[in-house]
Structure 1
Amino acid sequence: MLAAVKWEKSAQTIIFKLHSRGGLVSLAVLLAVALSGCGDKPAPQAAAAAPPVTVAVPTKRTVTDWDEFTGRFEAVEEVQVRARVGGFVTNVEFKDGDMVRAGDLLYIIDPRPFEAVATQADGQLADARAKAELAKRDLDRGLTLVETSAVSEQVVDQRRQALQAAHAAETVAEGALKAAQLNIEFSHVLAPISGRVSRHLVSVGNLVQGSDSGSTLLTSIVSLDPIYVYFDMDEATYVRNNRLYFAGKRPSSRETPNPVQVTLVGETKPSHDGKVDFLDNRLDLSTGTLRGRAVIPNKDLSILPGQFGRVRLIGSSPYEALLLPDSAVATDQSRKIVFVVKDDDTVEARAVTLGPLDDGLRVIREGLKPDDRVIVDGIQRARVGAKVSPHAAQAAPAGSKT
């Protein structure tokens, strides 16, 4: 009873002091303050649920490693069309940038001067033949007369020498005529190969020089189908491939037309296939690389000489491999890891050795087993040693093959 009276007086004193300071506090707040030392404990919070993640087992399939290089396309055949005779251009017979066939007429150089020379040479040949015929008749008569001693042997020898000289003059005249006829032929400039012609560099009315005095460049032609792609292989790749060859794990490109795949600028995957047809006989001393070449079919003529492309060259024989989406691989300082869900649904970080990408999936060389459950979605929610709620992927990872 006495304790209750003392508590009531204490409460009144507190209320009086609060009012004296201008504070207005409800009786409920005062009771809470008075009872704050009673030692009541708050209710415990519910345990957090295991975060959901998507898991998948590695895809198993036969893959082939590829080495990738930067390549440049070049024409299999390329010709600079030059004038072989001098004269004035009278006709340009092609459209700039058009496709031409071997033998198509490109330019006409005024042929009249060469035709005149040919006519003159033809007359000289006729004269030489007539003289040769006369010399032959004189010799035949001399051979008949020498039998009756009507002429001396010396006369016969002179007539025989005259016939030989006439035949020589005939041969010279024939050569002059052929040269004149060739000049007439060269006045019509023909395409030496089939391909795409460049622009015309000489217009009608201009004087061009022939091969005797520094021939004039008229245009150029490049072939397009097939087309070469040249690439440079670094020394380390060459040594590795050489070791694989001697171990019987990879055919040599010198002996076998190994396949290549080419990705053009702006493409995300290879669009053209070809085969290696040449490896140089030495490494370039300035770059330490080995020059290689592949032949690429170009039926649609879409690839032009001078273009760049990424060249993939076969780097191994086919082998069985485990693959994962590249997004399932994380980096832990200097090593690559994947998160594996164990049988008790706890997360384990597994160090792996990576291989190349194959059709959108990353080859895992070491660190995984075929039945491992790997987190492929929700890596950010996983903690090593903590439980997760795994859910199997609904479909095979992108890029997988059946």
Structure 2
Amino acid sequence: MSGISVYSHKISALIKVPAVLLAVSLLALTLAGCNDKPAEQAATGRPVLVATVHYEAEAPERSFVGTIRPRIETDMGFRVAGKVAKRLVEVGQRVEAGQPLAVLDEVDLRLQAEQAEAEYRAATGVVAQAVAAETRAKELRGKGWSTDAQLDQTKAAADEARSRLIRAERSVELTKNSLSYTTLTADARGVVTATLIEPGQVVASGQTAIRVARSAEKEAVVAIPETLLARARGGAARVTLWSEPDKKYTAKLRELAPIADVATRTYLAKFSLPDATDDMELGMTATLTLADADQERVARVPLSALFNQGDKASLYVVDRESGAVKLLPVTVKSYGTDTAVITGGVEEGARVVALGVQKLDPAQKVRVVASLSF
């Protein structure tokens, strides 16, 4: 029996040897698998969160909705009274300087002109007679055949005749001018915005007949709150049209209302547009943007992105192609609750590591997994 026990013990020992070898092999494979993960991570780079640097004015810009208006809009009317014979333009029509807009009936004015010319001819004949009588009176008085009273009388008659001639001349000129006023013409290039007369209508002198907006100068009209009056006066302004949002126009404050609107408590401001073109139509909707003049441009970055080595704060900038990081010193202007304001050191659009900068090494490559917005 003792021999059988010894034999069984040897067999069990032989069976245990392969099991131990199998366990050792599995442990080696497991360790090899664990060692591959750091190698793979080292090849792909350390995952990081980044923030994009964007420089802008320190104080935020303010935008207002406005309307494009003409700087000069003229209510044009006839300088003489009369009956409208023709209206030659319609609303929205573009006109040039000197272009006829409307015409009055000229019959009565032509009769007045003929009457003035007849009076001028009569006054010319009277002057000729008075001058001849004055000449004879002077000759007779020189020979002693006339008195001083008769000479003075002929002189007075001659002076009156000359005055009548001057009045007749002026009357002829006035009637000619009145005839020219029967045609209403545009005094500048522009657009007709209103027509307030129709053919057959009798109008008075100076009554508004046609309204023309000059196209030479245009402006943006907006309502400014009282808190931004200083920025409106001294700040930089630009205008964009809703129809062309990518095109910007320089704007300059031309007029600011001295009194606020009773209902809105805002001040009406008019900004001239020296770069306006014919493509900018009157009445278009525009956006006026106000910014402080000569304002320093800053960027806001997360506080966790700053790496301070004791002398100066720095940022880790990530190369977009290689994934390498570079530590660059920056100038910090102020600190906030969760952000820092910088004025320089990194370029516009640079991507900086936002978290875990204390564990980074400049020789280490990173992999961007997400971007933060600030």
TM-score category (smaller protein):
0.5 to 0.7
The question of whether the paired residues in 1 share the 8 Å contact of 2:66 and 2:222 is answered with yes
Q: Secondary structure at the match of 1:81?
A: strand
2:260 to 284, 287, 300: 284
Identity %: 17
The question of whether the paired residues in 1 share the 8 Å contact of 2:72 and 2:217 is answered with no
1:118 aligns with 2:113: yes
**1:73-99 superposed Cα distances (whole Å, 9 cap, x missing partner):** 321111122233343433333354221
Q: Secondary structure at the match of 1:147?
A: helix
1:274 aligns with 2:251: yes
Residues 77-226 of structure 1: matches in 2 within 5 Å? 77-198=72-193, 200-204=195-199, 206-211=200-205, 215=207, 217-226=208-217
Where does structure 2 lack aligned partners over 5 or more consecutive residues?
A: 1-45, 308-333, 347-351, 356-365
Q: Secondary structure at the match of 1:142?
A: helix
1:260 aligns with 2:237: yes
1:229 aligns with 2:220: yes
Q: 1:180 corresponds to which letter in structure 2?
A: T
1:238 aligns with 2:242: no
Q: 1:194 corresponds to which letter in structure 2?
A: R
Residue 229 of structure 1, CA deviation: 1.8
Match in the other structure for 2:340:
368
User: TM-score, with normalisation over the residues of structure 2?
Assistant: 0.63
* Residues 158 and 272 of structure 1, relative CA distance in 2, 3 Å threshold: same
Q: Please give the alpha-carbon distance, in whole angstroms, between the structure 1 residues aligned to 2:217 and 2:66.
A: 16
**1:38-97 superposed Cα distances (whole Å, 9 cap, x missing partner):** xxxxxxxxxxxxx96641353457778534334333211111222333434333333542
Residue 196 of structure 1, CA deviation: 0.7
Q: Please give the alpha-carbon distance, in whole angstroms, between the structure 1 residues aligned to 2:260 and 2:55.
A: 40
Residue 178 of structure 1, CA deviation: 2.1
Q: Please give the alpha-carbon distance, in whole angstroms, between the structure 1 residues aligned to 2:154 and 2:219.
A: 65
Match in the other structure for 1:309:
286
User: TM-score, with normalisation over the residues of structure 1?
Assistant: 0.59
Q: 2:99 corresponds to which letter in structure 1?
A: D
Q: Please give the alpha-carbon distance, in whole angstroms, between the structure 2 residues aligned to 1:288 and 1:369.
A: 34
Q: 2:260 corresponds to which letter in structure 1?
A: D
User: Which structure has the highest helix share of the two?
Assistant: 2
Where does structure 1 lack aligned partners over 5 or more consecutive residues?
A: 1-50, 243-251, 325-337, 344-363, 376-389
CA RMSD of aligned residues (A): 3.9
Q: Secondary structure at the match of 1:161?
A: helix
Q: Secondary structure at the match of 2:123?
A: helix
* Residues 285 and 104 of structure 1, relative CA distance in 2, 3 Å threshold: closer
Q: Please give the alpha-carbon distance, in whole angstroms, between the structure 1 residues aligned to 2:305 and 2:81.
A: 83
Q: Please give the alpha-carbon distance, in whole angstroms, between the structure 2 residues aligned to 1:218 and 1:132.
A: 43
